[in-house]
A and B are shown apart, each in its own frame.
Chain A
Amino acid sequence: MKINKKLPWILAAATALMVSCSEKFLEPKPESFFTPENLFVDKAGYNSMLITMRKDLNREQTGQKNFMAHQWAASEAAVPWLQMDFRALTPNSDLYQQFVVQINDIFQMVKNANTVISRIDNITWENENDRNQILAEALWHRSYWYYRLVGNYGDLPFVKDEVQGAKLDFNTHSRWAILKQLEKDMEFAAEWLPEQTAAGAPSKGAANHLLTKIYLANLEFNKAVESANKVINGPYKLMTSRFGIDAGDSRKNVIWDLHRPENKNIAANTETILAFVDRWEAAAEARSAGLFTMRVYHCSWWHSISGKDKNKGLGMIDSGPLYDSLGRGNPDVALSDWHSYKIWANGTETYKNTPDLRRADVNWFDREELRYNNPASVQYGEPFDPKNMDLPDEYWARIYPMPIYKTYVPNKPDQAGQPLGSNGDWYIFRLAETYLLRAEAYYWLGQLQDAANDINTVRERANATPITATDVTLDFLFDETARELFAESPRQNELNRVSYILAKRNEKGYSLENIHEKNYFYDRVNTLNDFYLRSSEINILGQNPNIQPFHFQWPISDPIINSNTLGRINQNKGYVGSQNNVPPLETIE
């Protein structure tokens, strides 16, 4: 009985001992994720962040509302079909186009770069070269995206470091201050990035190419020529003969080969400076939604409003032949006659007889080639007749030629679903652009013959008629970039950049004081783009095309401004809220 009486006490004491462990018991243990503390401990840790940044480059031209599509939708070449009145673009409106919210995505890429930049010296590097190379790539990515941000939005806060904790006191830096910073960062990157890199990773050439654009933006034209020289004299060469996947198809040509997604990252292609990698054969999580080129840039030829036959039955349908190769055009970026026809006219040359391979019949699908594809239609197989449309007067806007040499990316054999533009690689930088950038630098320097030579290098490869020095104007240069770099170069950014150069130089009546009321971007877009010229003739979703000078850059999203409660992020002039602006910071500390 004595033992019985003690037993409970013993039990209790034993249990208490059992459970009263040390503080270690409460230590949190992450099990299936890394934290910066346990990741950035060696080179492999830093590299893993660079991999993310390389993948993020595909945001430029994958998915339906991609960044590049917006660049061309806001240009002479096209309108954003579903939001063709830019006055509907407000700091909070993103109903059908994402001119506003893409800023959030791009700043995530800036954040990723800053994580590496801020933590680069958290470890002791055995090899200084490793450190500098990793830092250089992070700086390249940050500069690449900031160059795009400045082009989209103008003045912005420059976020230089990894953000720790709640920071709500950002202030706007002027675009000039940011571009100066980018220049410094890219000079470092150009020094340390290797000449040869894996597909999809920026190299020394990609650094010098980007640096050329930044020098141009900073009006340092001699330096721009120098950095472009480093690329042009580097390991790159324009492609002039047939190569790659379709090389055996005699109906095609080198321009066709150049833009096959399968050819962009192969060794035979010496023109690629940088192209992102995005493959259908990758696991679903490792690939994007696809290039969406046939969705974004193609007209909705299959749509019942346009595609009716003479009995008002469906002449065009979204299945079968034609649909599988032209795809389900939406379009998000409706191409203008300027882009389809006018820029190909040169003297007696028209889009029909131009020797320019970039407008070769085999490279484009012209609207005259459309035939009713509905076997049930009375007009099956007959050529498309605009008179049958619900709105025949809108034929010019609704049905346009498609530059399939760039946009044709059919579904893979084992890929079902709508044909929108499958996965594929896409150019970020290509040597042809370097030539045209150097031509621009020569133009500003007044070396028009040098400019003409560079332009002709690009034109001759495409079998286009060469030009002379007297032909070199800023407008011609931008016509040429539209011919060569459609859906590759960020069009609105480049027009915006040149608008600032002209204003800074007070040329052609432009000045920085009233740039949001009068600028080169607007004057070109509003006078060349047929949609604005024929605004009253087309109405989509209740809107007629309209653009104003201040749309040369886009509004800063309201939530960004409103959540930054301890500082002032400026709104771009012309948009609601800009009355609260304070002068931007001119230096970056």
Chain B
Amino acid sequence: MKKPETPDQPRRDNEGIRHWKKYLGLSMAFSMSFSAAVSAYTLPSGSNKQPVWQTKSIAQTLQGRVTDEKGEGLPGVSILVKGTQLGTLTDVEGNYSLEIPNSNAVLIFSFVGYEPREITVNSSQTQLNVQLESDTKALDELVVVGYGTAKKSDLTGSVARINASTFKNQGVTQITDVLAGSVAGFQANQGTNASGGANMEIRGTNSLIASTSPMIVLDGVIYNGDLKDINPNDIETMDILKDASSAAIYGARAASGVILITTSRGKSGKPTINFSTRFGISQALNTGVAARGPQGYLDFRRDYFRTLGLSQPSYYWHSPEQLPEGVTLDQWRGASSNPNPDNTLEWLSRLNFFPTEVDVYLSGNTIDWAKEVFRNAKRQEYDVSVGGGNDNVSYYWSLGWLDNEGILLGDKFSAIRSRMNVDFKITDWLNAGVNAQYTNRDESAVNSKSGNESDNNVLPSLGGMYTTSPFARLYNEDGTPSWYPHGYPGGQNPLLNVLGQDRSRINNSLFASIYAEVKLPLGITYRLSFQPRIEALKDYNYWSPETIVGGFTYSGGYATRLETNRSEWMIDNLLKWNKKVGIHSFDVTLLYNSEQFKSWTTTLTNQGFAPSSTLGYHGMQYGNKPTMETNDIRYSGDGMMGRVNYALLDKYLFTVSLRRDGFSAFGQENPRAVFPAAAFAWKISQEDFFRSEGINDLKFRLSWGKNGNRDIGPYAAFSQMRSVQYYDGTNPQIGVSTSTLSNPGLRWEETESLNAGIDMALFGNRVNITADVYDATTRNLLVKRSLPRVTGFDNVITNIGALQNRGFELTVSSVNVRNNNITWRSNLNFSLNRNKIKALFGESGEYTLEGKIHQGEIPDFTNKWFIGQPVDVAWDYDIQGTWQVEEAEEALRYNLKPGDIKAADLDNNGAYEALQDKRFIGFTEPRYNIGFRNEVDFLKNFSASVFLRADLGHVRAFNQSVQGWSTFDRNSTANYPYWTPENRSNEYPRLANNIAPFGGGIIPFKQTSFLRIQDISLSYALPSHLAEAAKFKSARIFGSVRNLATFTKWPGWDPESGHYPMPKTFTVGLNVSL
């Protein structure tokens, strides 16, 4: 919908912009020549590239110049002979030369930012100068919205877009890797393992127990599969629907926002083959916190004993080589009743070293566990795709193989992913097609959870790395892995799983969307699509008698065999009608959808394999204690939706929609719910009265809507009985016990939200600003309400309370410099979200909090939910520091000693009581999220980008320093600092600190704000003449670094991943288009 030209065009008189456009054109020319995208023309130079017309007689060579309204030459304008693939581009001055067939030809002149022109040349013409008029709407891209597309300028809601070009230079395993920090209002953290991935959240936490991950729509249909199954190389764009109105058409699943992913499709013309490959190396960031080194371990052991309160003098544990001042060796020896003749052995004995540790100390061959556990992880990726088509069919087919190692020894992920998108135009009233995706994932060695302690992970145990001494041996003398490398069963070899477990975890999945679209009379189209998804997971594990699983060694081996099959289908019936009547335009969409999901899981285990366990999980029947378990699930849902878009004078845009959803997981009292939405947008810059030198575009948006969240598991409304296996001495028996309370009244969560936004384009579209504010309230919150444990239950799932999220989002993108040599673009996004619990259980009374008596709604102390506070508030003791030696007497009042944590005692009654003394001390989610991307094209063939990211203002629990220390006389810990009488830390307590007096427990929190250089990249496109010489359409090499540098005070591994190591990744790659 083209904007009518206004009589005068003040914005066009800006000289600077004109200048800029010139260079924009120049740069476009280059990028188009080298682009991997399908080119709709062939290049004129050289020779044997014009097979089509060489068979015909050549009539003439046409020359000319393309200029803008001011008469300045436009470089890079595409000129195409209509109906052929003949064409060329203008040069830097706007001149062109094109040989055209010997007949009346129609030339199409097109250039981004300008209105295209079609000009017919007669057979004798040799000269043609053309002037193009700028089109301010041309940069207005088409974005995907639910069940359709819309021009960005026509949007009434809040939608953000990410183009594939943003991440083309990175090694991306799954698309969430790209999203972290990139979009205002979209919170995501990078995944740390070989399969990538991240948790995601749009506009804050809007649920306490249901999932807050956005829903995924893939090529227009709801996608319930794994994001890992989508190859990022197939993706063209991602559009993120943030406000209620845009998402409301997805009703019951859209409360957490929607991500619409669009994959590549074939374009008309001859096939384009694209090949790309990437290689990379990942390393762990910050391994200094991993394990104590030899000296650190000796000091740690000494300092532990010294501050434990034992009867020996403090110097007893000092090295005889480094005795404190005034202590003689004789004194030191005399502190023991029968000292070993050898001082070193005596000292190590005092430090309680195990024989292995003593041997290793004497030999000096210590182990750096971080070196054993981490590695330089290699990554490789190969992708090939073919796209093309003609008037009746278009196709795109891709095949990719990715093979990643993770930074932890053994962590590995590989995937084969293939996609086929085919669209047929069967008749003029019938289109049909299929988008299909097949993935084979090998996750045999993937760390499936960040905790890393699952029995089934074939990965090093971080816990083992922390606890095992550096004075240790990884292998026994016979070459087998040592179970307890320093001789203590509490310090299990962190590599035991890697070395001793055999695992195969393979997932095969197929997802397809098969559609037919019929053009009906009266401008109505009807689309029917059917989406089957099937998935088969096989997870097999075997532990030989030489290894340990779950604390046990099974003399005949132990094996588990899990198989899950999932099968679901979804049907969408979509009717669309659009019509323009004078100044009114209508766009109506109606939907009927239904779906069903089923899964079947079987788990077998066995042990004690005989006559031999060599068959492992392939021979389950040879064991002597078989067990089996089955777990089948099914759920179903349906939905109806109607939406009307109405535009008046192309200035006033209205959207109204209504959706009704049904879902089987909810209590039978409330299986259905209705979700309405409405939105309005006003294109102020279209008004006649609007005059502005600088502002090209200005639009105001307002939207309101309700969304639901159904994601609580299919059987939450039921009281479930868990099975209990029992053996009465003769027979196995099965018992049951109630594991959850029922709630037949369970219903949907509803999020009602209001969004106001502004879109602005300034200075000849050189600066684009989008700002949004929103206020969303979720009601009927699904809550695991804490129950007193005298009920026998922890909690019950109920719908109670209300939660509010308010926030502000700002995105500014600009072209800072655009000249002959350099183009520099920036994109800054900023967001903040403020979350508040508005209501909980509706039960009022008197309660104590922060030492004061309050009247009002009673908090849930167990879950730490308080009215008026955010869900992520940290409610704990306000740590003032560490009790110092001089304060011993005061500390004793709390039954504490120097070196223990000193917290504020609000009522100063000499006791730490949760309700009296705990305070609100911070927030665990970032208060501000900032992302700042800069892209620079320079020296014609180079482009570089830098992406900075900051999450600010939050804290995170740092439990290490208050964990149990009863075995510190035998093992090690992660390398965190601690208090000693000499090293008087006020940040960390002594090693053997006492936390028992802190009522309700105590958790220290540490600042975890960070700024990081998350991505930098550099790419070089081969100059066109070289590419052509090599018979490529284009070729590009690139390199990038992820997580190059991080600035933070967080004492743990990484401020983003918390207590888990984060990788730094170097990638180089090559992309060739044929």
Contact = CB atoms under 8 A, between A and B. Distances in A.
B636 A26 contact: yes
Interface stretch (B66-74, B177-185, B334-342): B334-342
Contacts of B994: 88, 542
Interface in B906-961: 911, 913-915
Contacts of A112: 737-738, 792
Nearest to A394: B311
Interface stretch (B265-273, B415-423, B980-988, B995-1003): B995-1003
Nearest to A39: B721
Interface in A255-304: 265, 277, 279, 281-287, 304
A48 B734 contact: yes
B845 A566 contact: yes
Contacts of B82: none
A472 B705 CA distance: 81
A96 interface: yes
Contacts of A93: 995-996
B793 interface: yes
B637 A26 contact: yes
A285 B625 CA distance: 10
B992 interface: yes
A283 B625 contact: yes
A286 B723 CA distance: 11
Given A27-B664, A387-B337, A163 B793 contact: yes
A138 to B, nearest CB: 13
Given A16-B592, A287-B727, A565-B847, A26 B663 contact: yes
Given A34-B721, A313-B355, A49 B736 contact: yes
A163 B338 contact: no
A92 interface: yes
A560 interface: yes
Interface stretch (B7-15, B255-263, B547-555, B871-879): B547-555
A284 B625 contact: yes
- Measured as residues with beta carbon below 8 angstroms from the partner, the interface class of chain A is 35 or more
Contact of B734 (A51, A88, A170, A376): A51
A323 to B, nearest CB: 11
A117 to B, nearest CB: 13
Contact of A314 (B308, B337, B355, B966): B355
B790 A286 contact: no
A416 B787 CA distance: 41
A49 B792 CA distance: 15
A233 interface: no
B665 A95 contact: no
A563 B633 CA distance: 33
A178 interface: no
A57 B591 CA distance: 57
B537 interface: no
A244 to B, nearest CB: 14
B671 interface: yes
B726 interface: yes
Contact of B997 (A15, A90, A164): A90
Contacts of A107: 789-792
B352 interface: yes
A391 interface: yes
Given A15-B573, A565-B843, A565-B858, A25 B793 contact: no
A103 B462 CA distance: 33
B604 to A, nearest CB: 12
A8 B728 contact: no
Nearest to A311: B340
Interface in A95-109: 95-96, 103-104, 107-109
Contacts of B350: 390
B254 to A, nearest CB: 19
B632 A563 contact: no
Interface in B665-705: 665, 668, 671-672
B810 interface: no
Contacts of B671: 23, 26
A2 interface: no
B746 to A, nearest CB: 10
Contact of A560 (B345, B637, B790): B790
Interface in B600-639: 605, 607-608, 625-627, 630-638
A175 interface: no
Contact of A414 (B349, B556, B798, B965): B556
A5 interface: yes
Contact of B555 (A287, A415, A577): A415
A29 B634 contact: yes
Contacts of B737: 49, 52, 108, 112, 115
A583 interface: no
A310 B340 CA distance: 8
Contact of A103 (B354, B636, B789, B793): B789
Contacts of A304: 352, 354, 970
A557 B1000 CA distance: 9
Given A198-B728, A376-B355, A416-B555, A32 B734 contact: no
B140 interface: no
A156 B725 CA distance: 31
A383 interface: no
B1001 A92 contact: yes
B895 interface: yes
Nearest to A109: B792
Contacts of A82: 966
A19 B592 contact: yes
B662 A26 contact: yes
A504 B346 CA distance: 59
Interface in A12-49: 12, 15-16, 18-21, 23, 25-37, 39, 48-49
Interface string B548-573: 10011111100000000000000101
Contacts of B845: 565-566
Interface in A327-369: 328
Residue of A12, A285, A312, A313 ringed by the most chain B CB atoms within 10 A? A312
B992 A36 contact: no
B792 A35 contact: no
Nearest to A377: B355
Contact of B729 (A28, A156, A170, A200): A200
B528 interface: yes
Contacts of B964: 95-96
Interface stretch (B192-200, B441-449, B712-720, B1030-1038): B712-720
Interface of A: 4-5, 8-9, 11-12, 15-16, 18-21, 23, 25-37, 39, 48-55, 82, 87-93, 95-96, 103-104, 107-112, 114-115, 156-157, 159, 163-168, 170, 198-200, 265, 277, 279, 281-287, 304-305, 308, 310-314, 318, 328, 376, 387-388, 390-393, 414-418, 425, 539, 541-542, 557-566, 569, 576-577
30 contacts: A15-B571, A26-B637, A32-B631, A35-B719, A48-B734, A51-B726, A51-B736, A55-B735, A82-B966, A92-B1000, A95-B996, A107-B790, A109-B792, A111-B738, A112-B738, A112-B792, A115-B737, A199-B728, A200-B728, A265-B729, A282-B732, A283-B627, A308-B349, A311-B341, A560-B790, A561-B788, A563-B787, A563-B789, A563-B862, A564-B788
Given A11-B528, A416-B553, 18 more contacts: A25-B662, A33-B723, A35-B721, A36-B719, A49-B735, A88-B996, A92-B914, A93-B996, A107-B790, A109-B792, A110-B790, A168-B788, A277-B729, A283-B725, A286-B725, A387-B338, A390-B350, A541-B966
The 10 closest A-B pairs by CB, nearest first: A111-B792, A51-B735, A282-B727, A52-B735, A416-B553, A8-B518, A312-B349, A286-B725, A31-B632, A564-B788
Interface of B: 308-311, 337-341, 345-346, 349-350, 352, 354-355, 427, 429-430, 489, 516, 518-521, 526, 528, 545, 548, 551-556, 571, 573, 575, 592, 594, 605, 607-608, 625-627, 630-638, 662-665, 668, 671-672, 714-715, 717-729, 732-738, 741-743, 785-793, 796, 798, 841, 843, 845, 847, 858, 860-862, 895, 897, 911, 913-915, 964-966, 969-970, 992, 994-1001
